[in-house]
Chain A
Amino acid sequence: AQSVTQLGSHVSVSEGALVLLRCNYSSSVPPYLFWYVQYPNQGLQLLLKYTTGATLVKGINGFEAEFKKSETSFHLTKPSAHMSDAAEYFCAVNPNTGTASKLTFGTGTRLQVTL
Chain B
Amino acid sequence: DTGVSQDPRHKITKRGQNVTFRCDPISEHNRLYWYRQTLGQGPEFLTYFQNEAQLEKSRLLSDRFSAERPKGSFSTLEIQRTEQGDSAMYLCASSLVSGGLNQPQHFGDGTRLSIL
Contact of A43 among B48, B95, B109 (CB under 8 A): B109
A49 to chain B: which residues have CB within 8 Å? 102, 104
B105 beta carbon closer than 8 Å to chain A: yes
Scan residues 4-44 of chain A and give those whose CB is less than 8 A from a CB of chain B.
4, 9, 32, 34, 36, 41-44
Complex contacts, A105 vs chain B, CB 8 Å: 42-44
Q: Which of these, B41, B101, B108, contacts A94 with CB under 8 Å?
A: B101
Cβ of A56 within 8 Å of any chain B Cβ, yes or no, is no
Instruction: Across the A-B interface, give the 4 residue pairs with the lowest CB-CB distance, nearest first.
Output: A105-B42, A43-B107, A51-B102, A102-B45
Known A49-B102, A98-B101, A101-B31; judge A43-B4 contact (CB<8 A).
yes
The interface residues of chain A, by DSSP majority, are classed as loop
| B85 contacts A by Cβ under 8 Å | no
Do B106 and A46 have beta carbons less than 8 Å apart?
A: yes
Determine if B109 and A103 form an interchain contact, defined as CB atoms under 8 angstroms apart.
no
A80 on the interface (CB 8 Å rule)?
no
Cα A66 to Cα B82 in complex, Å, equals 43
Shortest Cβ distance from residue A100 to the other chain B in the assembled complex, whole angstroms: 8
Q: Are A102 and B4 in contact (CB under 8 A)?
A: no
Instruction: Other than A4-B42, A45-B107, give 5 A-B pairs with Cβ distance below 8 A.
Output: A41-B112, A42-B109, A44-B43, A98-B101, A101-B95
How many angstroms from the CA of A44 to the CA of B43 in the assembled complex?
10
Tell me the bound Cα distance from A52 to B102 in angstroms.
9
Q: Is A112 in contact with chain B by the CB < 8 A criterion?
A: no
Cβ–Cβ contact B42 & A90, under 8 A: yes
Q: What residues of A have a CB within 8 angstroms of the CB of B102 in the complex? A: 32, 49, 51-52
